[in-house]
Amino acid sequence: MRNNNNSSQGSRSNNNNMSILSSRTSSRSVTETVNGSHKFVIKGYSLAKGMGVGKHIASETFTVGGYQWAIYFYPDGKNPEDNSAYVSVFIALASEGTDVRALFELTLLDQSPNEAACG
């Protein structure tokens, strides 16, 4: 910034009417890590199996790190090319107009004592 009047701003050297102003700038980028968890219980899973490829059961939206998320569980897979012997599970960002990077871990538990004993 150059100032040609005689008011004093910044550091100035008056040699032959030349003005030199100095300024300092800085910037900073901070990446935050936020941890959270959500428990999504599907009661009657055996009744959900067979509901059809592409059909899902959705969790309620939940908040982690200030963003809304949802879990989508497809008991027979999401796409026709998926093998219906497998399930599909997705975590989706429900907050609109947002770009977020997330790392997540899913754990599926079978809490049926009869089926667990057969393993």
Cβ proximity of 84 and 77 under 8 Å = yes
pLDDT band at 118 (very low <50, low <70, confident <90, very high): very low
Task: Look at residues 34, 33, 41 and name the one whose alpha carbon lies nearest to residue 107.
Answer: 41
Cα distances (Å, whole numbers) of residue 48 to 57, 64, 87: 8, 27, 11
For 118, the 3-state DSSP assignment is helix
Cβ proximity of 75 and 67 under 8 Å = no
Average pLDDT over residues 84-91: 86
pLDDT band at 101 (very low <50, low <70, confident <90, very high): confident
- Predicted TM-score (pTM) of this structure: 0.65
